[in-house]
Structure 1
């Protein structure tokens, strides 16, 4: 194949890419940004095919004498940029899907449950307990039965966000008398918590408490989390197994949590001892300040967003037991620590 043949092939490819982009845009399949990107790539391919000498400055910059190698290096950089753009588009699409699933769950919740009655005279406020659950039919009822109905002079309400469970989680929670907001598909704990936060705002709660459905945390210790918020001392109170009691102390997971807690402490200048703990209390009026995007590995995102936005932060001792039954929903092997690390870096940089 001669250089002339390569030039002709390049021009044909550029024309085909530009035509494809225009057709997709006119049919509504692409946004304007997608069309502009396709046209930009098409123009670049066309120009390089007809005038290959345009790569000479790039070769001179990198001290590459071979023009073909310089153009190859330039194309690799462009491909990498396109790959990063595609990842961003995929994350944005995933986020839109999560918003749709959460919106459907919230609409169904509104239809099923009437607005809360006004608080009784003398009440300090309302505490909303949000329990995300995925295939926790064997434990959810036991957790719900241990929730207090009143705490420090506040009414306590609860909602289970069933995150697309394949078992009887929703039925078990409803049988225990707890309202349920159901995701039609599994979205991850981060999306389940966002749905729960929206319900806490809908219910006009003053404090929202997050409690896992697996029975590892003790609902009886909820007062430790809520008291600093009600007393005006904190906006975000995190439970810490390392300040309290950890039944699996000395495990590999223990070491990982200590490392990531040290990393967040280094990045924020604030001592954090248990960055992956799921037992927390947040002032509902402060939720709007948090830019929460992660569908999974969201515990570290919550802490970083709270500290970045000036929420008064406090840690209190809590107990964390072994899971009594069922399997952990955390990814296996290296997927979990790598996911936590990614979320820490991305949240800190944005």
Structure 2
């Protein structure tokens, strides 16, 4: 009597088991990825169990009140697939964070060295393809304010136009990101450079001309007078010519109210990028956000005990070009960073 022929499905499952194990061992052999090896062994064990102990799935089906074995297998396979996808996303995120950190580190290392010191106000200006306006923005800044020297620092965030050249020709210190990192990423680069130069005060402003330099004196005054450590400009206490539509204005009001509830503050404009921060206190803030950085800065400042003050400012409409702010992702992005920054 000839032995029974093997079940083609069992053969396929065993081949899949071997392939998974090979992948895991190869990852460990080449890169010593223990986590990938452990995942491969777990997945291979699950696939092999379909061949050698299929009754185990009946126990799972009984516990879940599912009669058909293939339904149980499909359910478990879906859950495993979901786990693998989430794992892959976490690896991708970690790789992206590493690239971003390397990009910022290279930019900081290449930054010009100059005399900064305790009597300097660094004006950090993140700019992405703002060649039409960046020269005017830099040139409009005063040489000094409240007895402090003013040093404009433009972080050209992966710009493909003449942003960096025009900023440099206008007298700014310029650093470039070879890859776009978002406004938050550009600000982190600027903050690190300002800290290395021991800036007394760090001001942030946009490169599109929306933040008039005439407001700089009033913005730094509370810090100079030791009345605040973090000063925010508010278009709603001052004059708003930004041209935001009803939906965006409503969204800003909503998220401002949410921050006020969560952080026990009384601000009116949580997305305004015109702000001044006492330089040494930047080291106390944990900043991870690359896009929607304004709420994160406010929450971190509040959690670290910085004295907050909000003053009325004028916000102009963009002088040229189109807004870089995302439209569909605006609400989602703000919600995510507010929740994450509040909980951590």
Q: Shared fold (TM-score greater than 0.5)?
A: yes
Where structure 1 has 5 or more consecutive residues not aligned to the other structure, the ranges are 120-124
Pairwise CA distance, 1:103: 1.2
Distance 2:54 2:202 in 1: 62
Contact 1:131–1:159 at 8 Å: present in 2 too?
yes
Q: What do residues 113-160 of structure 1 show as CA deviations (whole Å, max 9, x unaligned)?
A: 3341666xxxxx321110011111110111111212222222221210
SS in 2 for 1:101: helix
Structure 1 residue aligned with 2:228:
234
Structure 2 residue aligned with 1:116:
115
SS in 2 for 1:147: coil
Structure 2 residue aligned with 1:122:
none
Structure 2 residue aligned with 1:177:
171
Distance 1:76 1:320 in 2: 51
Contact 1:7–1:50 at 8 Å: present in 2 too?
no
SS in 2 for 1:282: strand
Structure 1 residue aligned with 2:145:
151
The answer to whether structure 1 residue 9 and structure 2 residue 12 are counterparts is yes
Structure 2 residue aligned with 1:24:
27
Pairwise CA distance, 1:174: 0.9
Cα gap change, 1:70/1:199 in structure 2, threshold over 3 Å: closer, same or farther?
Answer: same
Structure 2 residue aligned with 1:280:
275
Task: Give the structure with higher Rg (CA).
Answer: 2
Distance 1:127 1:278 in 2: 16
Distance 2:272 2:19 in 1: 53
SS in 1 for 2:110: helix
Q: What do residues 249-304 of structure 1 show as CA deviations (whole Å, max 9, x unaligned)?
A: 66322112112212222332323321211111122222222222222122222222
Structure 1 residue aligned with 2:108:
106
Pairwise CA distance, 1:335: 2.5
Cα gap change, 1:268/1:57 in structure 2, threshold over 3 Å: closer, same or farther?
Answer: farther
Distance 2:189 2:46 in 1: 44
User: More displaced, 59-68 or 272-281?
Assistant: 59-68
Structure 2 residue aligned with 1:33:
35
Structure 1 residue aligned with 2:218:
224
SS in 2 for 1:215: coil
Structure 2 residue aligned with 1:160:
154
Pairwise CA distance, 1:61: 4.0
Pairwise CA distance, 1:3: 10
Distance 1:280 1:3 in 2: 72
Pairwise CA distance, 1:211: 0.5
What stretches of structure 1 move > 6 A for 4+ residues in a row?
A: none
Structure 2 residue aligned with 1:324:
319
Contact 1:95–1:293 at 8 Å: present in 2 too?
no
Distance 1:96 1:169 in 2: 26
The answer to whether structure 1 residue 53 and structure 2 residue 66 are counterparts is no
Backbone CA RMSD of aligned residues = 2.2
Distance 1:291 1:279 in 2: 19
Distance 1:349 1:53 in 2: 44
SS in 2 for 1:27: helix
User: More displaced, 184-193 or 311-320?
Assistant: 311-320
